[in-house]
């Protein structure tokens, strides 16, 4: 699914994870969910942008429930 991301505006990206199920939201709109068993142990979090995009990340929060 393609999601329009306006240029020059802040947005909210949220990823909810439970076990191997990932749900991805953009500005409160659920985009998709996927199961992924690639990384089974607790570890690290990273952020990445595609191609020559200019992206700023601010207020990264990780909450373990």
Closest by Cα among 52, 7, 3 to 24: 3
pLDDT in tens, 23-43: 999 999 999 999 999 988 877
Compute CA 33 distance to the chain's CA centroid, rounded to the nearest angstrom.
11
| Residue of 47 and 64 predicted with greater confidence | 47
Closest by Cα among 43, 20, 49 to 33: 20
Quick one: pLDDT at residue 37?
93
Per-residue confidence band for 65, with pLDDT thresholds at 50, 70 and 90: low
In a 10 Å sphere around its CB, with 0-12 CB exposed, 13-18 middle and 19+ buried, how is residue 19 labelled?
exposed
Q: Is 46 left (phi over 0), alpha (psi -120 to 50) or beta?
A: beta
Query: Is the confidence at residue 46, as pLDDT, over 90?
Result: no
């Amino acid at each position: 699914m393609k999601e329009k991301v306006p240029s020059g505006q802040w947005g909210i990206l949220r990823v909810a994870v439970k076990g191997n199920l990932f749900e991805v939201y953009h500005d409160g709109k659920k985009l998709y969910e996927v199961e992924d068993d690639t990384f089974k142990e607790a570890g690290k979090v990273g952020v990445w942008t595609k191609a020559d995009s200019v992206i700023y990340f601010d207020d990264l929060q990780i909450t373990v429930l």
